[in-house]
Amino acid sequence: MSNGLESMRFPKPKKPFSSLLKLEFRVNYSLSGMAEKIGLGSKNKSLVYIYFGLLALAFVPFMGVLFKFSNALSEAFVSIGQPGFVVVLAIMSGQITVIFLGFSQLMSTLYDSRDLKTLKALPIRPWQIMASKVLIAYFTELLGVLVIAGPFFVTLGTHLKSASYWVPAVLNLLLIPAIPVAISVLVISILMKFTAHSPKRDWFRVLSGVVVFAFIMVFNYLNVNMTQYGPERFVQLLMENNGLVSAVGRFYPVLRWRAWALTGGTLGQQILGFLLYTGVSVGALVLVIWFSQRWFFEGMTEGTVSVGKKERVSKEARKGELVWPSPKGTFGALFLKEHRLLVRNPTYLMTAFMNLMLLPLMFIFVYMGGGGEGFTALRAVVTPEILDIALLILVAVHAAITGMNQISSTAVSREGQTFWISKVMPVSPGIQVKAKLLYSVAFSCVQLVILVVSAVLLLELDVYRLLILSFLGLLVSVPVNAICLLYDLSFPKLEWTDPQQAMKGNFGTMVSWMFSLLYVGVMAAIVFGLIRLGIPYFLIYCISGALLALSAYGLVRWLDSVAAARYAEI
Amino acid sequence: MLKISGVSKTYVGGVKAVDNLDLEVRPGEIFGFLGPNGAGKSTTIKMIVGILTPDEGSIEIDGLDVSREPIEAKKRLGYVPDEAQLWDKITGLEYLSFLCDVYGVPYEERSSRALELLETFEMLLAIKDPIGTYSRGMRQKIAVIGSLMHRPRIWILDEPMVGLDPRSSFLLKEMMRSHTEQGGSVFFSTHVLEVAERLCDRVGIIHKGKLLAVNTVEEMKHLFAQEGDKSLEEIFLLITEAQIPEEQLASLTR
């Protein structure tokens, strides 16, 4: 009897590692895998092309600005005989991107992936499992690096006009994530080895991410800080060919080697630079995977929770009582649930924390780069009108960062396979999404506080403008979060095996951010029109406030009706 | 107490998971819903509790239409899914507290009710641990406890014995019996036909989306008596493998 098996064609046999790597790539980057990531469902593969086409279009303005900026930078540095410094800046920005966006992703990939236990039971070597996960994370980080650092390499190449530049440049670009990924893997493996059995292991994870990020920031600053040399030495460096490059990388010579490989004065210097940075980058990654594999698997063992809690519960039980949390009411319970699900997952918490830190870090960079003096000079010449314009720009910046923080844009996706609880509980979908919206707005308020404090310190805003900034910032948080939540409700990504996939691996966050930017753009255009018409700023604030409030009301009503429909369909 | 009328559900691709289903669960009754894999049991249960929406027909819980009055209907039922996915980072206590808040369980009742259930299922020591640290059986237990905190009128269970140790399984069956003795109803699906045979007042057998038989176990055995003394398992296999004439099949529905 034919059962069809003789006609089934199996793929050609592969070695275990190759097969595993192919499987991981297929899960993450096949068409159906991508469709799942986006939230389209694996059956709508053809929509992926349309989706990415639209995404690419949305990124065109951003890439346009980045190319212009890098082109101007390349032209300037090439003309003063410092082309290598462009390479340094490109590598730094790429590596910061990897750590900023990739550390939590790598942590989640290594320790939260639900297939790890299945893989561990198979006859595959630990380093192979680890390497396959690390390579997938590496590939994902590379995509981000290509976007951020790619324009620098391309524009530099066009100005250098050297045929021998391009191949080493491509290799240089491909190896940017190597050392940050290696550092991340090492830190994560050591961390998990020593904290796996601690009840506070999740907090350790978050703390480690913050520490690593801070370390990278300070490290990069120390390596490129030119102010340490004084003006005379600085001028001297400028007079030498690639003099700035020879001054950077005091603690991290890889920066210098990379710059030499592409812009070194002699062929020998270029070859030496190439061999050194390639060797160090690849070697670091290989060595870290090899040495940390044992810690990695030891750290995978889930620890038991501390005995202390059990003793406490026993005592309560013996007394016949159980200390029960105070009642919160439905809305309060939902709000608290949102909060707990965010802050108790280290992946989500770290992502949220990094998003909160984005603005303060930008200001710190500017300050550390000598911008502090610039702000002092600026404050001396600023007029009330400039302050009013600055205030409106800050509101727009707050709106942009709100759309980017991934809290509202993943509020439904993060529920994942537990979404059935939301469907079964006797609470209307409208109330549930309003609780999610309120939580997202509360998170935005934390960002707003950071923004307001920064504005007060850097621009010395008066109380009146401080209040206006706070009020408009709060108002704009509502429609922006509502837009992101609407998108996530319409295209939730509930099927994930790794919490990271719900947040950072969720392309829906990018799309919802684009929609929120569209809204911000429209509002900004209206405000700009009002300014051009010469409307007094007080009236502009009132009109903007009214528009924000009206759009917030309309979007919340829309959210309500979409929630009722979507909760039935999901 | 639970009334399903003409309910159908078709999935994408034209697969009819449930086809014109009619059945009723009476107060004080344990109703066993049996069927092979892919028969439509879980789909039916998901429609009852509101996870899926029927394409046709209506479902009433205590006279409340699930699609028109979902909130009130949901308050009357307690649901335990098969392989309950719960929030890993929330403790058992926080989970129960959350459910009490959304179901409106009076505060003064919560502690005593929880203690009673936690002691019954030997979950007291683990209650302050994150659910992510629970074994599969413990997750099932906390899901069961969570479904009972608000004293639902009707208890909907999808393969409830899976993952439970023998003692917990026994206790669950005792609880089901005691729940119906107090006037409540239980509607549960299972593959373990011996349990259904011993526990259920009536059973329904569904196959390829169609309800083939609904009756008490005794009555079914009586109707097959001329073919020898048959267990529920044997009757189930005869019905689902289409080995009985349609007239005999029709007589199995009551």
Cα gap B33→B199, rounded to integer Å: 12
Nearest to A322 by CA among B93, B103, B144, B106: B93
Mean pLDDT of B121-127: 89
Distance from CA of A202 to the nearest CA of B (A): 10
- In chain A, residues with a C-beta closer than 8 Å to the C-beta of B101 are 327-330, 332-333
pLDDT at residue A304, as a whole number: 39
CB contact under 8 A, B101 and A329: yes
DSSP characters for A218-240?
HHHHHHH--GGGHHHHHHHHHHS
What are the residues whose beta carbons fall under 8 Å from the beta carbon of B58, sequence distance 6 or more?
A: B4, B5, B6, B7, B65, B66, B67
Nearest to A103 by CA among A212, A202, A190: A212
Cα gap B126→B205, rounded to integer Å: 38
Instruction: Please indicate whether residue B188 or residue A508 has the higher confidence score (pLDDT).
Output: B188
Cα gap B81→B97, rounded to integer Å: 19
pLDDT band per the 50, 70, 90 thresholds, residue A79:
confident
Which one of A312, A314, A344 has the shortest CB-CB distance to B89? Answer: A344
Please check the confidence at residue A493 and state whether its pLDDT lies above 70.
yes
Distance from CA of A43 to the nearest CA of B (A): 10
Distance from CA of B67 to the nearest CA of A (A): 9
pLDDT at residue A308, as a whole number: 44
Distances (CA, A) of B241 to A467, B235, B248: 75, 10, 14
pLDDT at residue A229, as a whole number: 64
Burial tier of A494 (Cβ tally within 10 Å: 0-12, 13-18, 19+):
middle
pLDDT at residue A531, as a whole number: 92
Q: What is the mean pLDDT of chain A?
A: 81
Please check the confidence at residue A69 and state whether its pLDDT lies above 60.
yes
Which one of B50, B111, B133 has the shortest CB-CB distance to A324? Answer: B111
pLDDT at residue A303, as a whole number: 42
pLDDT at residue B226, as a whole number: 73
Distance from CA of B70 to the nearest CA of A (A): 7
Q: In three state form, how does the secondary structure of A79-108 look?
A: HCCCHHHHHHHHHHHHHHHHHHHHHHHHHH
Answer positive or negative: Cα dihedral of A252, A256, A257, A262.
Answer: positive
Cα gap A369→A224, rounded to integer Å: 10
pLDDT at residue A306, as a whole number: 40
Structure tokens at A118: 């299945």
Burial tier of B63 (Cβ tally within 10 Å: 0-12, 13-18, 19+):
exposed
What digits encode the pLDDT tens for the residues A335-388?
999 999 998 887 788 888 877 877 777 666 666 655 555 566 666 667 778 888
Mean pLDDT of A382-398: 86
Distance from CA of A325 to the nearest CA of B (A): 7
What residue in A sits closest to B48 (Cα-Cα)?
A: A424
pLDDT at residue A5, as a whole number: 46
Which one of B85, B100, B125 has the shortest CB-CB distance to A418? Answer: B85
pLDDT at residue A307, as a whole number: 42
Mean pLDDT of B198-222: 88
Query: How many CA atoms within 13 Å lie on the side-chain side of A119?
Result: 25
CB contact under 8 A, A325 and B94: yes
pLDDT at residue A230, as a whole number: 66
pLDDT at residue A4, as a whole number: 45
Which residue of B79, B82, B102 to mutate against A (max A Cβ within 10 Å)? B102
Instruction: Please indicate whether residue B120 or residue A226 has the higher confidence score (pLDDT).
Output: B120
- In chain B, residues with a C-beta closer than 8 Å to the C-beta of A313 are 124-125, 127-128
Mean pLDDT of A522-536: 92
CB contact under 8 A, B72 and A426: yes
Please check the confidence at residue A474 and state whether its pLDDT lies above 60.
yes
CB contact under 8 A, B115 and A305: no
pLDDT at residue B181, as a whole number: 92
Instruction: Please indicate whether residue A347 or residue A396 has the higher confidence score (pLDDT).
Output: A396
Distance from CA of A397 to the nearest CA of B (A): 33
Residue A361 CA to its chain's centroid (Å): 14
pLDDT at residue B145, as a whole number: 93
Burial tier of A538 (Cβ tally within 10 Å: 0-12, 13-18, 19+):
exposed
The SS3 call for residue A503 is coil
What residue in B sits closest to A197 (Cα-Cα)?
A: B133
- In chain A, residues with a C-beta closer than 8 Å to the C-beta of B75 are 426
Please check the confidence at residue A131 and state whether its pLDDT lies above 60.
yes
pLDDT at residue A366, as a whole number: 62
Mean pLDDT of B3-24: 90
Mean pLDDT of B224-251: 73
What residue in A sits closest to B85 (Cα-Cα)?
A: A418
Q: What percent of chain A shows pLDDT beyond 90?
A: 27
CB contact under 8 A, A345 and B89: yes
- In chain B, residues with a C-beta closer than 8 Å to the C-beta of A331 are none
B74, A427 Cβ separation under 8 angstroms: no
Mean pLDDT of B239-243: 72
Burial tier of A468 (Cβ tally within 10 Å: 0-12, 13-18, 19+):
buried
Of the listed ranges A4-8, B8-12, B103-107, B227-231, the one predicted with least confidence: A4-8
Mean pLDDT of A302-309: 43
Distance from CA of A479 to the nearest CA of B (A): 27
What digits encode the pLDDT tens for the residues A423-452?
999 999 999 999 999 999 999 999 999 889
What residue in B sits closest to A326 (Cα-Cα)?
A: B107
- In chain B, residues with a C-beta closer than 8 Å to the C-beta of A430 are none
pLDDT at residue A10, as a whole number: 65
Which residue of B101, B112, B116 to mutate against A (max A Cβ within 10 Å)? B101
pLDDT at residue B61, as a whole number: 94
What digits encode the pLDDT tens for the residues B106-118?
888 888 889 889 9
pLDDT at residue A381, as a whole number: 65
Contacts A–B by Cβ distance under 8 A: 106
Which one of A43, A320, A328 has the shortest CB-CB distance to B101? Answer: A328
CB contact under 8 A, A320 and B115: yes
What digits encode the pLDDT tens for the residues B40-79?
999 999 999 998 889 999 999 999 999 899 889 999 999 9
What residue in B sits closest to A429 (Cα-Cα)?
A: B71
Cα gap B42→B44, rounded to integer Å: 5
CB contact under 8 A, A332 and B75: no
Q: In what order do the strands lie in the sheet with B154-158?
A: B77-80, B154-158, B185-189, B30-34, B202-207, B210-215
- In chain B, residues with a C-beta closer than 8 Å to the C-beta of A314 are 124-125
pLDDT at residue A383, as a whole number: 76
What digits encode the pLDDT tens for the residues A177-214?
998 888 888 888 887 777 766 666 777 777 777 777 77
Q: Where are the beta strands (DSSP E) in B118-191?
A: 154-158, 185-189
Instruction: Please indicate whether residue A306 or residue B221 has the higher confidence score (pLDDT).
Output: B221
Q: What is the DSSP letter of A12?
A: P
pLDDT at residue B79, as a whole number: 93
- In chain B, residues with a C-beta closer than 8 Å to the C-beta of A332 are 101
